[in-house]
Amino acid sequence: MGKSVYSLILNDEVIKKIDTLAYARRTSRSNYISEVLASHVSYTTPQQRIKDILDAARAFLEPYEKYAFVEMNSNSFMDVRTALSYRYRPTIRYCLEILGRDKGPFLKLKAQVRTQSSSLISAIEDFFTIWQKVEKQLIPDAYDEVEMTSYENVCYTRFFFLNDRMNIEEQRLGKAIAAYITTLDKALDIFMSNMDNTDYVISDIYAAYKEYYAKTGMII
């Protein structure tokens, strides 16, 4: 959707109220007016579609009591936290953000644990090495390790390019995104609970990923 500059004559008091509402939503005056007008003429903006996708992802995750949501004043960001299956139950944070670039919209997922434990840091690094190998083997045509992943400071980042999937219904796309998070979290729990049995761990992680793909019927 293209954007242009338009000249409008508006009431000063109306603009004051718009600015107050835009500030509360952490958006610009122009974006807020665009959202209001789009709603009035029954047009779904890309920003609204992104919000609908993340709302659908949250709705899928909320029945799982293990996940806690951090409320954010942003329509394109979601912060989910849960306890890691490890000795002192450290918190793992899953952050979802939908952004845009020249190639089209993309989703950035960050899975991060804040810890000073060298053993936990090593274990998490080992897990994501396995996770990357699983994805590379199971979805070779849709996976590019260099383009789509990074790992640094106990933070795994996964990019999902949505340009070819933005025509998919919001509920289905949001559910697929949330299912990826639950599968990643499940695989991490499997690994942390069975670190002494590498063969079992790898086999179960493969099985969890295959189940995720079978249920969603799509690769994001």
Predicted local confidence at residue 209, as pLDDT: 92
Residue 105: what pLDDT? 67
Torsion of CA 63, 177, 131, 62, to 10 degrees: -10
Residue 104: the pLDDT is 60
Task: Please tell me the predicted confidence (pLDDT) of residue 79.
Answer: 93
| 137 Cα distance to chain centroid | 22
Residue 122: CB atoms within 10 A of its CB come to 10
Q: What per-residue confidence (pLDDT) applies to 44? A: 67
Whole-number pLDDT of residue 2: 62
**Tokens in use for 92?**
């793992």
**Structure tokens that stand for 173 in this block:** 């796309």
- The pLDDT value recorded for residue 191 is 94
pLDDT of residue 9: 86
Residues of the chain with pLDDT under 50: none
Question: Cα-Cα-Cα-Cα dihedral of 158, 159, 164, 170, to 10°?
Answer: 70
pLDDT for 126: 93
